[in-house]
A and B are shown apart, each in its own frame.
Chain A
Amino acid sequence: MTPHATYVLRLADTNLVLAQRLGEWVGHAPALEEDLGLANVALDLLGQARLLLAHAGDLEGRSRDEDALAYLREESEFLNLTLVEQPNGDFGRTIVRQFLFDAWQSALLEALAASSDPKLAAIAAKAAKESRYHLRYSSGWLIRLGDGTPESRARVTDALVRLWPFTGELFDADDVDRSAAAVGIGPAPDALAAAWNTTVDRVLAEATLTRPAPAGFGWHGKQGRHSEHLGYLLAEMQSLHRAHPGATW
């Protein structure tokens, strides 16, 4: 696969896996209103993932459509960021994961809207509006929970410490990233750090939360080396299609 196709597939997988995680909340959220709120974010991300998967399939040129890419690849072939495969935990941990992601994705999509790949630029321009809303939603909740009761504060503080190590991968460049950046397909990962830091620091300050210390990381989900959680997620997501290929309803 070319670096170009790999780059797009990473974006697609990251969206797809996070959409699947958020979908796990349906029927279980703390309130009916939040059930719909989380499902709306999941559906936005899934819609973006479908466009990106189809585009990656075209770039790959092996006639794999979005279903083949979503349902018929193994764990090590998935190239999502390790952050988004982390389990939902409680509502607070889901919000922290979402916030850390949204702050990154909104900066990324803004940069991708100027991509030298016109298809990717068009997808990003459409998705950027959705991402801005997601960031509004997750940062609103993080502020409420961080600056909330001792219980809510303790839970999001714990979540922040647990998830922080996975944010290192967001800004870590490998050959695929460097080659995409060289021809203007996507921004260099570390070019997004300034915008991400500004958003994170602003919201953490309002939530009266402390930014965790920088941490090393040993996961490289975007290279197919995942934490132990992705396999279970894929088993659930793919089982229906594998048992009944092409099933529709």
Chain B
Amino acid sequence: MTDDKLDWPLYEIFIRARSGLDHKHVGSLHATDARMAIEHARDLYTRRQEGVSIWAVRSSEIVASDPGEADALFEPARDKIYRHPTFYDIPDEVKTL
């Protein structure tokens, strides 16, 4: 195979395992266009019945936070424990919280 010579764009693949669940990131693949990305994702990531829905997103379209800014972005939340909803009594009937 000549994978290194491919100039096909990279897509990030998200799979929904079953209805009602979120799409989860499962990996990435190369494809020339959106339709091929879905077909490749089907062949690569759903061959063992892993999913019922596929999202494909061009990797270049993803905006990522800067690891160098992690302190500024995430540190301040550490000591704000009151933001966690842990001070409520959950009724037994509520299963999915």
Closest to A31 in B: B6
CB distance from A157 to the nearest CB of B (A): 20
Residues of B within 8 A of A29 (CB): 1
A137–B38 Cα gap in the complex (Å)?
A: 10
A52 to B43, CA, bound (A): 24
**Would you list which residues of chain A between 1 and 47 have a CB under 8 Å from chain B?**
27-33, 35-37, 40
Name A33's contact: one of B2, B30, B33, B35 (CB within 8 Å). Answer: B30
With an 8 A cutoff between CB atoms, is A144 at the interface? yes
Interface of A is mostly: helix
The interface on chain A, measured as residues whose beta carbon lies within 8 A of the other chain's beta carbons, has a size of 16
Could you tell me which residues of chain A, from 203 to 229, have a CB within 8 Å of some CB in chain B? none
* Residue B56 CB within 8 A of the other chain: no
Q: Is B40 interfacial (CB 8 A cutoff)?
A: yes
Contact pattern, B 55-93, Cβ under 8 Å of A = 1, otherwise 0:
000000000000000000000000000000000000000
Residues of A within 8 A of B31 (CB): 33
Pair A31/B43 contact, Cβ less than 8 Å? no
Band of interface residues on B: 10 to 19
Q: Are A33 and B44 in contact (CB under 8 A)?
A: yes
Check: A136 CB closer than 8 A to any chain B CB.
yes
Shortest Cβ distance from A56 into chain B, in angstroms?
28
What are the residues of chain A within 8 A of B32 when measuring CB–CB?
144
Q: How far is the CA of A8 from the CA of B43 in the complex (A)?
A: 29
Chain A, Cβ-Cβ closest to B32 = A144
* Residue A140, interface by CB 8 Å: yes
Q: Is B47 touching A40 in the complex (CB atoms < 8 A)?
A: yes
Interface string of A83-119 (1 = CB under 8 A from B): 0000000000000000000000000000000000000
Q: Does B52 contact A (CB under 8 A)?
A: no
Given contacts A29-B1, A140-B35, contact A40 B6 (CB under 8 A): no
A37–B1 CB distance below 8 A: no
* B-side contacts of A133, CB under 8 Å: 42
A28 to B1, Cβ gap below 8 A? Answer: yes
Q: A37-B39, A136-B39, A140-B36 are in contact. Are A30 and B44 (CB under 8 A)?
A: no
Rounded to whole angstroms, the CA-CA distance of A137 and B30 in the bound complex is 16
CA A140 to CA B35, docked complex, whole Å: 8
List residues of A (136-179) whose CB comes within 8 Å of B's CBs.
136-137, 140, 144
**What residues of chain A have their CB less than 8 Å away from a CB belonging to chain B?**
27-33, 35-37, 40, 133, 136-137, 140, 144
28 interchain pairs (CB within 8 A)?
A: A28-B1, A29-B1, A30-B1, A30-B2, A30-B6, A31-B3, A31-B6, A31-B8, A31-B30, A32-B30, A33-B29, A33-B30, A33-B31, A33-B40, A33-B43, A33-B44, A35-B1, A36-B40, A36-B43, A37-B40, A37-B43, A40-B47, A133-B42, A136-B39, A137-B39, A140-B35, A144-B33, A144-B36
| 19 further interface pairs, Cβ-Cβ under 8 Å (given A30-B2, A31-B30, A40-B47) | A27-B1, A28-B1, A30-B1, A31-B3, A31-B8, A32-B1, A32-B30, A33-B29, A33-B31, A33-B43, A33-B44, A36-B40, A37-B43, A40-B43, A136-B39, A137-B39, A140-B35, A140-B39, A144-B36
